Chain A
Amino acid sequence: MSGKNIAPTRDEKEGLKMAAGTYERVELERELDGFLAEAMNDGRPALKVEALTKRFPRPEGKRRGFWRRRPKFAALAAVTFTVEKGEIFGFIGMNGSGKSTLIRIVSTLLMPDEGQVEVFGVDVEGNPARVRELINRVAVDAAFFKVLSGSENLRYAARLYGLSPRLARERYDGLLTRIGFDPKRLSDQIKSLSRGERQKVAAARALMTAPALLLLDEPTTGLDPRSKREVQRVIREMREEEGTTVLLTTHDMEEAERLCDRVGILHEGRIVTIGTPAELTARAGGAGTTLEDAFLKFTGAEWLGDENGA
């Protein structure tokens, strides 16, 4: 959490020119650093998910009688995996396979029905407040107050995370420049930005809080190939410089291959396989097999469309 790029400057640390509100953030980051070091010593993984199950009512299900509940289906069924500190772990899977649901549970927005989720040893249900200090999330919908400008939105986000507006600006200006977004455009209203531009501001918003566990739900969907790579590079740099752990979902096989140390394939709420991209392709057929082939193989019958001339 105290890498060179976004750490508070020495002046700030010594409380000399500390803008109002900065000191508290510095204190928190110091406390979190200590907490993370302790978690490391105890060998606690960054994320531990055990037998996680989450059910939702079937959308088409009808209530049978007033008191009866609507029939449910498992969006996640006994999902178990661990992510080590500093690892970039990706989930791929078909639409509706439960990826976003999983990310929501880790980010304390949804409570598990069964099973356990621990972030650096902290239970998401038992102590969500601590978990929230350790994480941040970039969601595919890049939610902002659309009539406010980018900098107004970031100022608000900074306050929520205890960053003073000044410290926040130092951090996000740098981040935005690195992912190819001119900070001058932050004075534009969010609604006037393109989808990809919003996604970049959303990425900076999450990264400026230097989360120990970064949750990325399709972070590069809607980005052009160059911006995609820029965002991917920043994610990798965060890991190298800050030791950030990343859990991401993507529909981009190339991204999964390029970015992830390990990849899990989710299918109908179950993990069907987990491993390094190379292991997955090997399991799916060996030489010449792509991750996309593996994806198709593990998520049901192999793609027969081409052969059938469809």
Chain B
Amino acid sequence: MTIKVRALREFWCSIGFAERNFMLVKRYAGWEAVFLTYTVVSALTIGLIGVGTGDQQLVLFLVIGAVLWGYLSILFHEVSECIAWERGEGTLEYTFMAPVKRFTQLMGNALYAITYGLGRAAVQLLVCALFFGISLAGANFLTAAVVLVVSSLPFLGLGLACAVLPLLSRERGSQATHIFQASILLVSGVYYDVSVLPSWLRPFSVVSPATYTLRAMRAAVMDGVGLADVGNELLILVISGVVLIPVGFACFVLGERWAKKTGKLKIEG
């Protein structure tokens, strides 16, 4: 088989993972509607805090935080939980036995997470814009789109590294992942400027990629800045993505190897 044919094969495999996840979304349409309502409402309530202060810029600041955090946490969650969830379903062995590159599998799940996350974020943003009468006329959409794409990279890397944790420890793995996600929420300045953090927490905000995503996104939407003006943030995000994706993937492969050595893949039978 030529390289092109192999690449096509992997491509269709990754489509398979994304497709499967969307079939599940369709199946749970009722719950999807519930979750979507919940996230939209929570973005609205957070935005209303800004309305109370009479500061329209603060409303936008908060809404961006809520929507962007929603997107990043979906991305991280879907990728980091894809293994735990398949083990729960009992299909993990089946998937792992298929002639699919692990990278393709994880990328297929990432592809789903990105499209699904973007869809939800778009709805959230639209409802908020209508509700608060936010004008996005001054926003630089090109910058915003680039920030969104680039900031997906480090989160995918982190998700990959965490995805394997449930294979190492059945329950603790998922627990650790949630704690990790909560810590990022705390230190990245989702609803406030990181300067308000106690000094001992501030160093953590420097290493969290979400800090740069939020800063760059706010500059793009609120101040309408061009790409060059958020160059530093973009550079940091690109570098952390380029580092974290291979590191995350390597963690995954090592964890999988260990699980296959010790028999941790198996659930029953």
CB-CB under 8 A from B28, the residues of chain A are 147
Q: CB-CB contacts of B13-39 with A at 8 A, as 1s and 0s?
A: 101110110011001100000000000
Does B257 interact with chain A (Cβ within 8 Å)?
Answer: yes
**Contact across chains for B263 and A56 when beta carbons are under 8 A apart:** yes
When distances are taken between beta carbons in the complex, the residues of chain A under 8 Å from B24 are 145, 147-148
In the complex the two chains form, is A109's CB within 8 Å of B12's CB?
A: no
Give the residue of A108, A133, A156 whose beta carbon is less than 8 angstroms from that of B20.
A156
A141:B268 contact, CB within 8 angstroms: yes
The interface stretch among A22-30, A79-87, A227-235, A265-273 is: A22-30
How many A-B pairs have beta carbons closer than 8 Å: the answer is 106
Q: Which residue of A23, A100, A109 has the most chain B CB atoms within 10 A of its CB atom?
A: A109
Q: A107-125: contact bitstring with B at CB < 8 Å (1 yes, 0 no)?
A: 1111100000000000000
User: Which of A43-51, A158-166, A253-261, A287-295 is the interface stretch?
Assistant: A158-166
Question: What is the size category of the interface that chain B forms with chain A?
Answer: 35 or more
Q: Which residue of B lies closest to A103 (CB)?
A: B269
Main secondary structure on B side of the interface with A = helix
**A143 adjacent to B16 (CB under 8 Å):** no
Residues of B within 8 A of A108 (CB): 96-97, 260
A146–chain B nearest beta-carbon distance, Å: 7
- Per DSSP, are chain A's interface residues mostly helix, strand or loop, or mixed? mixed
Q: How far is the CA of A116 from the CA of B19 in the complex (A)?
A: 37
- Tell me, rounded to whole Å, the shortest Cβ–Cβ distance linking B22 to chain A: 10
How many Å from the CB of B128 to the closest CB on chain A? 32
Q: Is A155 an interface residue (CB 8 A)?
A: yes
Are the CB atoms of A161 and B99 closer together than 8 Å? Answer: yes
Q: Are B93 and A109 in contact (CB under 8 A)?
A: yes
B97: chain A residues at CB < 8 Å are 107-109, 132, 135-137
In the complex, A79 Cα to B97 Cα: how many Å?
Answer: 22
Chain A residues contacting B15 (CB-CB under 8 Å) are 159
Per-residue contact bits, chain A 31-64, to B (CB 8 Å; 1 contact, 0 not)? 1000000000000000000000000100000000
Let me know if B266 and A104 touch, CB within 8 A. Answer: yes
* B96 and A143 within 8 A (CB): no
Q: In the assembly, what is the distance between CA of A146 and CA of B91, in Å? A: 10
Q: Which residues of B contact A132 (CB under 8 A)?
A: 97-99
B residues less than 8 Å from A111 (CB atoms): 257, 260-261
Query: Does the CB pair B94–A159 fall under 8 Å?
Result: no
Is A248 in the interface zone, CB < 8 Å from B? no
| Partner pick for A143 among B1, B91, B98, CB 8 A cutoff | B91
12 CB-based A-B contacts, threshold 8 Å = A24-B6, A24-B8, A100-B269, A110-B260, A110-B266, A141-B90, A143-B93, A147-B24, A156-B20, A160-B13, A160-B16, A162-B9
Q: Please provide the 5 A-B residue pairs with the shortest distance between their CB atoms, ordered closest to farther.
A: A159-B16, A160-B98, A132-B99, A143-B90, A24-B9
